[in-house]
């Protein structure tokens, strides 16, 4: 009886692990990055970055290459 129970638990754990791996892999396949705009919304718009501003830098299609930087005086 215990041998059969151990076998069923082992099979259940394998299915759970397979589901976890599948969820992780499907999350990696998600491409939720929107395309960059072709041009600025308005050519007259002008902004000068100053101390205290935060700049977010991201390399397109490289999720791990993102950084937020605060401008210091």
Distance from C-alpha of 8 to C-alpha of 15, rounded to nearest angstrom: 11
H-helix or E-strand containing 70? strand 66-70
Q: What is the pTM of this model?
A: 0.34
Distance from C-alpha of 30 to C-alpha of 11, rounded to nearest angstrom: 29
pLDDT in tens, 16-73: 888 888 777 766 665 566 676 777 677 777 788 889 999 988 888 887 888 999 999 8
- The residues, ordered by sequence, that sit 6+ positions from 53 with a Cβ below 8 Å of its Cβ are 70, 71
57: which strand partners? Answer: 67
Q: Where are the domains of the chain?
A: 1-29
Which residue bears the tokens 């259940």? 12
- The residues, ordered by sequence, that sit 6+ positions from 17 with a Cβ below 8 Å of its Cβ are none
């Amino acid at each position: 009886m215990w041998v059969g129970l151990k076998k069923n638990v082992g099979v259940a754990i394998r299915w759970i692990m397979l589901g976890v791996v599948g969820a992780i892999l499907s999350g990696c396949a998600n491409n939720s990055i929107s395309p960059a705009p072709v041009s600025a919304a308005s050519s007259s718009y002008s902004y000068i970055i100053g101390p205290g501003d935060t700049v977010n830098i991201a390399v397109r299609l490289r999720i791990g290459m993102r950084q937020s930087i605060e401008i210091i005086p």
